[in-house]
Chain A
Amino acid sequence: MRAIRSALGRASLLPALAMLAVVVALNAWLQPHFFGRPSLESNIATFAPTILVCVAQAVVVLNRQLDLSVGAGVSLINCALAALPADLPGGGWSACVIGLALALALGAVNGALVAFLELPSLIATFATGAVWFGLALALMPQPGGAIAPGLGDLYGADWIGLPVPLLIVAAAMAVWVALGRHRIGRWIVAVGSSPGAAYQAGVPVRWATFGAYLTAWVLVFLSALTISAQTLSGDARLGQTYTLTSVAAVVIGGVSLGGGRGSPWGALLGALVLGIIANVIYFAGIPSIWQEFFKGLVIMAALGFMVSGQRRRVAA
């Protein structure tokens, strides 16, 4: 039974894997030394924040909810990190603790609004997103401030021979794998698949949804941390594009917006596809005025490819 289920899970990743293979091949063809270590390291460092926020969205979408405030959340955490005093005792580590605590608080607010007050997640998280953006602007009316320099050095470093950004992404995925072995992870997906049936089976539906938001916001924190380690300053508009990118990546990765189907691994692949598409468009030397148009076309094709694939599987 488990073998069948995991095989099916892998099958839903196939279209995203195929797309990834195509864009990687294109990128490698256009960019010499794409597979060289410097290029791979700089790519993973660039993609890590997007991957993390897309995986966060996937956790919420698996629960049949949405979070339209993740982008503003990344901005707010980034601004908070940048607004911390430079002589903070503990330096980068205490900055991390404060950032994580803030992220958990934001996730708890979203989770409580959706799980316990039963507000529609689309509009409720749009509203909290406005609040997070407002708070970020209040902290940082103009881009500025400084991130603890230790974080930037750490982000560019290697640990046991592997680049730190890669390890952070691996740790985030390990969190999801660990949850999946525990009942909490299964509850999150079960509720997304059918809230009624999950309730009948004795799943604490509200807590599962609350837990999905908390889990997601741990990943949102990691996303904010990794982007902050690169920009080294605060900007209230930093994460603006992340929200819709994360929704697109989730769909490209084969996670159904209807909940319950797909996996965060798909969102990881989706985020990679979107990131590498941008690379390909850049290295192909397409004139800048055409870049947005081509990006739009490719995204539309990818989304159409995914959705039509999902329909075939449902029909079969």
Chain B
Amino acid sequence: MTGSRRLLLLIGLTVALLLAGQVLLPGFLGPGQIANQLKIAAFLGLFGLCQTIVMAAGGQGLDLSVGATATLGGILGAALLPDVGNVFAGVAALAAGLLVGLVNGFGIAVLGVPPLVATLAVASVLDGALIVGVSVLHPGNAASAALVAIAGRGSFGVPNIVLVWAALGGVALWLLLRSAWGRRLCATGSNATTALLSGVDTTAVRAGAYALSGGLAALTGFLLTGYVGQAFLGLGNAYILTSIVAAAIGGVALAGGSAPYLGVVCAAIMMTVLVSVLTAIEVGESGRQIVFGLILLGFLVLDRRFARSAG
């Protein structure tokens, strides 16, 4: 399915879901509700960006450590907040995430460990280390007022976190689709040998992709702390698999070589609206899981159909 066709399908599906929500539950389309949905979608969209970057780098790329890294960012950031202030706490979270991402990148790009295995192993060590750290040090876990304002409140009716998402997303779109680094990333993902022979340092590009994913995941985890009010163990776990799904629905090929982040943005919004419609009509957890799985399957089948008819 070509990029624009997919965008149209995703936007159409989102509008249909919104209308269905409005019919089933009047008030669903109110401005407050829409802002709320975008707020929730922003976090999924940012975690989806992590997966977009590493999937584009190819070699069966994916990052199963985004959840643990986000938890690290949230817990470390919240622990440092009272002493160093918002900015430095955020920078510390970002730096810690970059470091975790570099470990992933080293294992994957230098040692040649499959991404699924490498990021899973790093996540299990990190989760274990966080349990130790929290149990031994009992760090402060509350979000500051400023962080809550950034992640939870809005300016002129637009949630601040959506503005953050727009800014980071804009930079990401430029980086992935327009910059030389983005071209090297996609060249590495589509054919690492050709890219290497054309003078791309594929090892550095791959390692960089995982570092970037780690940094972004930790920063998003820090912001998530502001949204939920406090950091806790398992903060980012819900996003591990949903972020991969958002990237896949958005059109990022598992085989690598493309980074259509705009599609991922639409997919994140669609998935958020889907979940909230199901919640609004009081479908229980079991029904939500079933419908979520079926819609994902339906989308994959459609995707396959379009790919075949286009090819």
Residues of A within 8 A of B (CB): 113, 117-120, 122-124, 126-131, 133-138, 141, 236, 244, 247-248, 251, 257-258, 289-297, 299-300, 303-304, 307-308, 311
* Residue total for B at the interface (Cβ-Cβ under 8 A): 43
Given that A135-B290, A244-B120 are known contacts, is A119 also in contact with B128, CB under 8 Å in the complex?
no
In the assembled complex, the CB of B244 is this many whole angstroms from the nearest CB of chain A, namely: 7
New A-B contacts (17) at CB < 8 Å, excluding given A117-B304, A248-B117, A296-B121:
A119-B304, A122-B244, A123-B248, A123-B296, A130-B290, A131-B290, A131-B293, A131-B297, A134-B285, A236-B286, A247-B120, A248-B120, A257-B117, A258-B114, A296-B126, A304-B113, A311-B111
In the assembled complex, the CB of A48 is this many whole angstroms from the nearest CB of chain B, namely: 23
In the assembled complex, the CB of A273 is this many whole angstroms from the nearest CB of chain B, namely: 14
Q: Kindly state the separation between the CA atoms of A70 and B60 in the bound complex, as whole angstroms.
A: 21
Q: Is the CB of B117 within 8 A of A307?
A: yes
A-chain residues with CB within 8 Å of residue B136 when the two chains form the complex: 289
Q: Is the CB of B289 within 8 A of A119?
A: no
Q: Is the CB of B121 within 8 A of A304?
A: yes
Within 8 Å by CB of A303, from B113, B293, B300, lies B113
B12 close to chain A: CB less than 8 A: no
Within 8 Å by CB of A297, from B116, B128, B245, B292, lies B128
B-chain residues with CB within 8 Å of residue A251 when the two chains form the complex: 114, 117
Contact residues of A: prevailing secondary structure: helix
Q: Is the CB of A296 within 8 A of B297?
A: no
Within 8 Å by CB of A122, from B128, B132, B254, B288, lies B254
Within 8 Å by CB of A289, from B107, B135, B286, B291, lies B135
Residues of B within 8 A of A (CB): 60, 107, 111-114, 116-118, 120-122, 124-129, 131-132, 135-136, 241, 244-245, 248, 254, 284-294, 296-297, 300-301, 304
Q: Which residue of B is nearest A135, CB measured?
A: B290
A-chain residues with CB within 8 Å of residue B120 when the two chains form the complex: 244, 247-248
Given that A123-B244, A293-B129, A295-B128 are known contacts, is A257 also in contact with B114, CB under 8 Å in the complex?
yes
Given that A308-B111, A311-B112 are known contacts, is A123 also in contact with B300, CB under 8 Å in the complex?
yes
In the assembled complex, the CB of B187 is this many whole angstroms from the nearest CB of chain A, namely: 22
Q: Which residue of A is nearest B294, CB measured?
A: A131
Given that A127-B300, A257-B117 are known contacts, is A137 also in contact with B125, CB under 8 Å in the complex?
no
Q: Is the CB of A141 within 8 A of B286?
A: yes
Q: Is the CB of A130 within 8 A of B293?
A: yes
Q: Is the CB of B290 within 8 A of A134?
A: yes
B-chain residues with CB within 8 Å of residue A134 when the two chains form the complex: 285-293
In the assembled complex, the CB of B118 is this many whole angstroms from the nearest CB of chain A, namely: 8
Q: Is the CB of A137 within 8 A of B124?
A: no
Within 8 Å by CB of A307, from B111, B293, B294, lies B111
- Residue from A124, A292, A294, A300 with most neighbouring chain B CB atoms (10 Å): A300
B-chain residues with CB within 8 Å of residue A244 when the two chains form the complex: 120
A-chain residues with CB within 8 Å of residue B60 when the two chains form the complex: 257
Q: Which residue of A is nearest B255, CB measured?
A: A120
Q: Kindly state the separation between the CA atoms of A127 and B135 in the bound complex, as whole angstroms.
A: 35
Q: Is the CB of B289 within 8 A of A137?
A: yes
Could you pull out 22 A-B pairs where Cβ atoms are within 8 angstroms?
Answer: A117-B301, A118-B304, A119-B297, A119-B300, A124-B297, A124-B300, A126-B241, A126-B296, A127-B294, A135-B286, A135-B290, A136-B286, A138-B286, A138-B287, A236-B286, A289-B135, A292-B127, A293-B125, A293-B128, A293-B132, A294-B128, A307-B113
Q: Is the CB of A119 within 8 A of B301?
A: yes
Q: Is the CB of B300 within 8 A of A304?
A: no
Given that A113-B297, A134-B293 are known contacts, is A296 also in contact with B114, CB under 8 Å in the complex?
no
In the assembled complex, the CB of B125 is this many whole angstroms from the nearest CB of chain A, namely: 4
A-chain residues with CB within 8 Å of residue B124 when the two chains form the complex: 292, 295-296, 299-300
Q: Which residue of A is nearest B121, CB measured?
A: A300
Within 8 Å by CB of A127, from B113, B131, B296, lies B296
B-chain residues with CB within 8 Å of residue A124 when the two chains form the complex: 297, 300
Given that A119-B304, A130-B296, A307-B117 are known contacts, is A289 also in contact with B132, CB under 8 Å in the complex?
yes
Within 8 Å by CB of A128, from B125, B244, B245, B293, lies B293
Within 8 Å by CB of B131, from A117, A289, A303, lies A289
Q: Is the CB of B127 within 8 A of A296?
A: yes
Q: Which residue of B is nearest A251, CB measured?
A: B117
Q: Kindly state the separation between the CA atoms of A137 and B289 in the bound complex, as whole angstroms.
A: 9
Q: Kindly state the separation between the CA atoms of A248 and B116 in the bound complex, as whole angstroms.
A: 9
Q: Kindly state the separation between the CA atoms of A131 and B121 in the bound complex, as whole angstroms.
A: 27
B-chain residues with CB within 8 Å of residue A296 when the two chains form the complex: 121, 124-129
Q: Which residue of A is nearest B247, CB measured?
A: A123
Q: Is the CB of A131 within 8 A of B300?
A: no
B-chain residues with CB within 8 Å of residue A128 when the two chains form the complex: 293, 297
Q: Is the CB of A133 within 8 A of B289?
A: yes
B-chain residues with CB within 8 Å of residue A130 when the two chains form the complex: 289-290, 292-293, 296
Q: Kindly state the separation between the CA atoms of A123 and B62 in the bound complex, as whole angstroms.
A: 12
Q: Which 5 A-B pairs have the closest CB atoms?
A: A293-B128, A134-B289, A130-B293, A134-B290, A137-B286
Q: Which residue of A is nearest B249, CB measured?
A: A123
Q: Kindly state the separation between the CA atoms of A45 and B186 in the bound complex, as whole angstroms.
A: 49
A-chain residues with CB within 8 Å of residue B294 when the two chains form the complex: 127, 131
A-chain residues with CB within 8 Å of residue B114 when the two chains form the complex: 251, 257-258, 307
Q: Kindly state the separation between the CA atoms of A113 and B286 in the bound complex, as whole angstroms.
A: 22
Q: Is the CB of A299 within 8 A of B293?
A: no
Q: Is the CB of B116 within 8 A of A247?
A: yes
In the assembled complex, the CB of B55 is this many whole angstroms from the nearest CB of chain A, namely: 11
A-chain residues with CB within 8 Å of residue B301 when the two chains form the complex: 117, 119
B-chain residues with CB within 8 Å of residue A131 when the two chains form the complex: 289-290, 293-294, 297
In the assembled complex, the CB of A227 is this many whole angstroms from the nearest CB of chain B, namely: 21
B-chain residues with CB within 8 Å of residue A311 when the two chains form the complex: 111-112
